[in-house]
């Protein structure tokens, strides 16, 4: 018995020192270090590291639970946490099996299809895939002012400042998405997003954008450049969602994610404002204004 007590005391001392060291390490991890890790590698790599740490933490807790059980069998009062690892594993496997059966009944082919057309459903890509999709959705919620979290917003802003792929892919998803469900990018973020998404980041002759809204297959706003110092309204329509414009001039531009867009600028048009003259007749004031051509039709509504 005395031998067991010495062994238990030694194990407790080791665990206490390990816990203190872990606390010191995690206390020094700051948001800037997380951002630096994302910048130096990738979001997927950092996400994978987080999950490796999570699994190690779960393993540590399970070992601690077994030690608690052993100490309790020796008559030492300890707090019991959690349940049987085997029973918990069985519950998880049963849940996964139920979801797989539901997926099999969901369609003729029995395969779940994700939003981008790939099969695999919510488990596609394993834990890293699930975490990546969750992080992407958080970022979309942040840039559309529907939620999000500080880490995803900071990651997006850092990538946006460099014209990075992560930011451009997020912008592309919102640009092609449904405004009623996904929302849109507006305000200062939208002006910066248009600069990055259209490939102007870092260019000396890049235009400036204002009053921009991105979403629903459209990018609308005002472009300010050397040719148009006062600014000119423009409209862009994603080619795989909109028909080719039938009114006014247009050109085709490629965005950073490889999508093609029809771009139109406002053209001079005559605006007539009616008034009644001294003889009681209706006449018109005529002004020349800049006006965008009629918006092209959506392909899903033709």
Give the per-residue pLDDT at 224. Answer: 96
The number of CA neighbours under 13 Å toward the Cβ of 60 is: 12
Distance CA 302, CA 291 (A): 25
More confident residue, 284 or 64: 284
Give the per-residue pLDDT at 108. Answer: 43
Model-wide pTM > 0.95: no
Choose from 71-75, 134-138, 222-226, 289-293 the range with maximum mean pLDDT.
222-226
Query: What are the pLDDT digits (tens) for 64-84?
Result: 676 666 656 655 555 544 555
Query: What are the pLDDT digits (tens) for 110-160?
Result: 344 344 444 455 555 555 667 778 889 999 999 999 988 888 899 999 999
Q: Say whether pLDDT at 211 is over 60.
A: yes
Choose from 81-90, 98-107, 196-205 the range with maximum mean pLDDT.
196-205
Q: Rounded to an integer, what is the distance from CA 248 to the centroid of its chain?
A: 35
The number of CA neighbours under 13 Å toward the Cβ of 14 is: 9
The answer to whether 140 and 170 have CB atoms below 8 angstroms apart is yes
Query: 149-158: long-range contacts at Cβ-Cβ below 8 A with a sequence spacing of 24 or more?
Result: 150/31, 151/31, 151/34, 151/35, 154/31, 154/35, 155/35, 155/38, 155/43, 158/35, 158/38, 158/39
Q: Rounded to an integer, what is the distance from CA 126 to the centroid of its chain?
A: 19
Sign of CA dihedral 256, 197, 132, 47: positive
Proportion of the chain above pLDDT 90, given as a percent: 42
Sign of CA dihedral 237, 242, 243, 247: negative
């Amino acid at each position: 018995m005395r031998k067991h007590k010495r062994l238990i005391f030694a194990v407790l001392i080791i665990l206490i020192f390990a816990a203190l060291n872990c606390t010191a390490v995690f206390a020094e991890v700051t948001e800037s270090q997380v951002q630096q890790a994302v910048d130096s590698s990738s979001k997927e790599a950092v996400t994978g590291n987080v999950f490796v740490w999570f699994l190690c933490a779960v393993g540590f807790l399970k070992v601690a639970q077994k030690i608690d059980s052993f100490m309790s069998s020796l008559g030492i009062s300890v707090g019991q946490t959690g349940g049987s690892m085997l029973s918990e594993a069985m519950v998880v496997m049963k849940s996964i099996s139920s979801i797989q059966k539901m997926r099999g009944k969901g369609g003729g082919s029995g395969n779940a299809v994700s939003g981008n057309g790939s099969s695999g459903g919510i488990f596609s890509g394993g834990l890293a895939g699930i975490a990546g999709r969750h992080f992407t959705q958080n970022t979309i919620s942040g840039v559309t002012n529907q939620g999000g979290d500080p880490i995803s917003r900071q990651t997006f802003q850092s990538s946006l400042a460099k014209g990075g792929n992560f930011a451009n892919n997020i912008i592309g998803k919102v640009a092609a998405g449904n405004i009623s469900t996904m929302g849109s990018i507006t305000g200062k973020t939208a002006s910066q997003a248009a600069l990055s998404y259209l490939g102007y980041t870092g260019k000396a002759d890049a235009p400036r954008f204002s009053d921009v809204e991105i979403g629903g297959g459209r990018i609308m706003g005002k472009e300010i450049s050397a040719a148009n110092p006062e600014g000119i309204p423009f409209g862009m329509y994603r080619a795989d969602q909109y028909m080719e414009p039938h009114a006014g001039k247009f050109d085709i531009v490629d965005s950073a994610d490889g999508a093609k867009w029809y771009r139109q600028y406002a053209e001079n048009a005559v605006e007539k404002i009616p008034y009644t003259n001294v003889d009681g007749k209706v006449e018109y004031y005529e002004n020349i204004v800049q006006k965008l051509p009629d918006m092209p039709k959506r392909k899903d509504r033709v």
